[in-house]
Each structure stands twice: as C-alpha cells, then as structure tokens.
Amino acid sequence: MDEKEFSRETEILYQGAHIKGKLVTPEVPPIYLTTAFNAEDLDDVSDMYAVKAYTYIRTRNPNRNTLAELVTYLEKGENSIICGSGMAAISTALLSILKNGDHLLSDSKLYGETIDLFDKVLVRYGIETTYVDFNDLAAVESAVKPNTKVLYCETVSNPMITVVDIEAIADIAHKHAAKLVVDNTFTSSVVIRPLEKGADVTINSLTKFANGHSDVIAGSVTASGDIIKNAYGLQVLLGTTVDPFTAWLCQRGIRTMDLRVQKQSDNAAKLAKALEANPYVLKVNHPSLESHPQHAVAKRLFENGYGAMLSYVMPDSREKINAFMRKLKIARYAMTLGGIRTTLSHPVTSSHSGVPEEIRQKMGITFGLMRVSVGIENPDDLIADFNQALEVFK
C-alpha cells in the first residue's frame, strides 16, 4: 500500500505486512506464524486448492510439511502427518484405520495412557481390544480373530523395556490381512526403523528423543501414501495438527538427534551394567545386558546401540526411594523422557497410576521400579551419582 493512502487505523493493519524485494533461501527456515495465506482472486483460490497449496493452517503449513518430509525420510516411509502430541498421533492413526466392529490386538505391555485410549475411548466406538504378551508368538497367533484389523505394540515397552520381534509380529499380522502399528518412541529411528522390519505404520512421540530438549509436544505417523492420505483427512477434521512454532523447534532438534541418541544409548548401556552390579539393585532392564530376555532379538533388530531407556528395581520402600531421589545430584524426576539430561520416572505413581494394581503386577510394575531416561552427561559421573544415592538402602 502507498504511504498515507488510508487512515492510520486502516494503515496500521496493512503497512509492513508483506516482504518486499527478492528473497533468497535462508540458512534456517522461517517460522510461518500465520493462520491463512492470501489469494488474488477466485481463480487463484481455485488454483490453490487444485495444487494443494497453502491456504489455512489446519490443512497445511510450511513448517509442519517440512517436518513431515524430514520424519518420512528418517523412518523410511512414503509420507507422514505431524500431530499435536504422541497421543494425538496414536488416536489419529488408529481411528483412521479402525471402524465399528473391528478388533485390535495389542501387546499387554504398553504406556498407561495408550491402554486408557483403547479401554475408555476406542471401546465407545465399537472397537474391541485384546491384550496378549507379544513376546509369546503362539499367544499372539491364537488371539487373532476374523475381524482383527490392527496389531499394536511398542518397539521397546514402557516401562519394562521388553523388546518386540517386529519381523515376527509383522508376519503374523500380514498372514491375517491385518496391519502392524508400532510406537517407536523409546528407540527412535536412530536405533530401529520398524517399517523396514515389516511394520505398516510407525508412530513417534516427537516430544521425546526426536526433539530432545524437553520443550515441545508433538507426534508423528509415518506409513504408506494411502494410509497417510486417510489419516490426514481425519486429522484435518479432528484438528490434531501441530502449530508452526512447535514444528520449527522439533525440526531444529532432529538435526542433532543421531549425535544425541548414539551418546545416550552408549551411556545407558554403561549405566545399566553398573546398576546390575550394584548390591542394592534387584533387577535391571536394558536390552544391552545379556541377562535381558530379548537381548538376542534386540541385537538382531537394532543398530547404533540399544536405546537410552532403562528401568531397574529397588526394594519397595517409599521412604528409602524418596531418600534416594533426594540424594541424587545429577538425575532429576521429570514427567517426560528423551531429553539431553538424565531423568527419572516412577511408573506406579505416574505413567501407570491409572492401571489397576492386578494388571500392573502382571506387567511386572512394582513399587520399587524406576524408569530412567539417560542423557548425554559423562557416563562416569552418572554411575557415581546413582551408586552414591543407592547407599540409602544400606
């Protein structure tokens, strides 16, 4: 607009609204904090819709689209959608595949709120869920029903750190014309890419290792073009998309993911070995350990280490566990994981607090179980810190 063409109350809305001059590609992509993009006329509007151009932020946004492109590359899929959280990714993916009367066959060892989604939400839409131990292939095979459409698991379970043989489960799913959906959050594409092992859909909570800095909430679904086309259509209607700034931050974090996760995985293996040798620790769960029941499976499927998540069991003393937590100098309690600093979580009072006690016991989640997300600190410092804090059990 020409200067002083209209009154101040009008000009204040339009002056400086559009970038002038020739634009070159910036070293860092800009953040497109706009809810909509302008069109010149009705013909332009028609053309924009015809080529799926940027029109409204809920349907498409440059930051979200470029993040989807990056995640698709990392997970070796055909396309991805980016959601407002990991739970939004799980719900959008499953609701785009399942319908009333379908059966979902799930691993019995899952994140607590994923179980809540299945038991409290999907059931309301006529979707039945059966839980079995996915480490028992015969039990998985026998639990498949004629209406089973999806088999669901986590690559590494939260918080027991069991490892699912994705290749074997994929064979069972495809034998029965079902799809295998895998939550890859605990390992990330640095350690394993489930789609390369036969899975049909990979889900990630980008909040965790992908972003890595504990400052965003986002999720992703990666699969074939047809599956993502259906998921995208549902996502637009449900409004589960992520905002541009979050997408921008997450993309920035992913640029260093390989470096971070490799270091975190190495640290986790060293800490797990040290904890296993500690006299006050009853059990350690990490796939790097030969004592881990799925060590051979993890060794076959994983690359670049065994992941940065571990859990271990202490005596069931609330007083002593509190004292242990207060004595730690480095690791701190946090209701998240995957960040650059080592954090703790107590499943009984956090992630699985809503799971009935009898089910928790079957899963092996006792009061003394502590989940650890290992960071990028010096491993010797971490080991020394845990060992000195564990002295409270003497």
Catalytic residues: 58, 111, 183, 208
Give the DSSP per-residue string, 100-130.
TT-EEEEES---HHHHHIIIIIGGGGT-EEE
Angle at the Cα of 370 from the Cα atoms of 365 and 372, rounded to 5 degrees:
125
Whether 104 contacts 95, CB under 8 Å: no
CA atoms of 284 and 331, how far apart (whole Å)? 17
Show contacts of 125-129: CB within 8 Å, 24+ apart: 125/95, 125/98, 125/99, 125/100, 126/99, 126/100, 126/101, 126/102, 127/94, 127/98, 127/99, 127/100, 127/101, 127/102, 127/103, 128/102, 128/103, 128/104, 129/103, 129/104, 129/105
Phi/psi for 148 (5° steps) reads -70, 120
Q: Are 203 and 90 in contact (CB under 8 A)?
A: yes
Residue 222 parent element (H or E): strand 219-223
* Cα distance between residue 137 and residue 124, in whole Å: 29
Q: Residue 69 is encoded by which pair of tokens?
A: 């492109």
